[in-house]
Amino acid sequence: MNEPAASMPAGVSRSQALMSIGEVLAHLRVEFPDVTISKLRFLEAEGLVEPQRTAAGYRKYSWDDVARLRFVLTAQRDQYLPLRVIREQLAGWDASGDGPAPPRPALVAVGPGGEVPGRDASAEPADSAQLRLGRSDLIARSGVEESTLAELERLGLVVSDPPGWYDGDALIIARAVAGLAAYGFQPRHLRGYRTAADREVGLFAQLVAPLARQSDPAARARAAETARELVALSQQLHAALVRVGLRSTLGR
């Protein structure tokens, strides 16, 4: 793989610029706070980046590698591009000699668990399933009314894990409902969302379940990435259909 060109800090040679996976994680987390070491390993397994290896087998990344990773993460976050499309774009750049913009050398320290000191890890959880909130915290952080939360639970839109803890997705749902409530929406108006989501879960599960059941960590990582891409594409489709449906009402 021909690596796309990237600049390095003045006075630093290519060999001195090589970084460990932890250092790369620290650099990328400035812009992508939800990236993890597992994610970087997955992107390598998918052939999107090829870090060098030491004699002991440790990964060593160049600034060119970081530029490549930064492009992949940006394309996923901002354009919801699947890895297949991103891989094709990178292959085109490899063939032409062009490449992603060089990275900015802004490193920050990370803790042993990959956390960035000074950042509130609970504000926007990197993994929504890992966040744990009590009922009062969920209400305070989402702005949803107690009675509304009770109705959302009755309708199955928000589910708590025993013994009464809520994860990051429950927070996202409650915040969205609180926002819709400001426009007059009530929980009963949202039953269709639950029904539609359940249909999509059934469809998507057929695709990711075979990978998720494998013992190979790479296969399970691929299942998680496939699920992420399916959710992103579904969000795009839903938003576009709603916009099209509202055009006549808006006179556009």
What number of other Cβ atoms are within 10 A of residue 173's Cβ? 22
Contact assessment for residue 23 and residue 100, using Cβ atoms and an 8 Å cutoff:
no
Q: Domain of 142?
A: 120-185
Same domain? 6 vs 89:
yes
Same domain? 112 vs 126:
no
Handedness of CA 247, 250, 251, 252 (dihedral sign): negative
Diameter over CA atoms, the chain: 65
Kindly report the length of the chain.
252
Same domain? 6 vs 103:
yes
**pLDDT given at position 114:** 43
User: Is 161 buried (19+), middle (13-18) or exposed (0-12) by CB count in 10 A?
Assistant: exposed
Interatomic CA distance for residues 61 and 78, integer angstroms: 24
Average pLDDT in the chain: 79
Same domain? 42 vs 79:
yes
Same domain? 30 vs 8:
yes
**pLDDT given at position 202:** 92
What number of other Cβ atoms are within 10 A of residue 222's Cβ? 19
Same domain? 80 vs 24:
yes
CATH number (domain holding residue 35): 1.10.1660.10
CATH number (domain holding residue 140): 1.10.1660
Same domain? 204 vs 214:
yes
**pLDDT given at position 60:** 93
Residue percentage of the chain with pLDDT more than 90: 23
More confident residue, 118 or 225: 225
Q: How confident is the model at residue 3 (pLDDT cuts 50, 70, 90)?
A: very low
Same domain? 25 vs 82:
yes
Contact assessment for residue 220 and residue 212, using Cβ atoms and an 8 Å cutoff:
yes
Arithmetic mean of pLDDT, 179-200 = 89
190 within some domain: no
What number of other Cβ atoms are within 10 A of residue 29's Cβ? 20
* Identity of the highest mean pLDDT range in 78-87, 179-188, 225-234: 179-188
Residue-wise pLDDT tens digits, 21-74: 989 988 898 888 888 888 898 899 888 999 999 888 889 999 999 999 999 999
Same domain? 1 vs 109:
yes
**pLDDT given at position 69:** 94
Alpha-helical segments (H) within 35-98: 37-45, 63-79, 83-96
- 148: Cα within 13 Å, side-chain hemisphere: 23
**pLDDT given at position 84:** 85
Same domain? 105 vs 143:
no
Residue-wise pLDDT tens digits, 62-121: 999 999 999 999 988 888 788 888 888 888 888 887 666 544 444 444 444 444 444 444
Arithmetic mean of pLDDT, 113-132 = 52
- CA angle (141, 143, 144) in 5-degree steps: 115
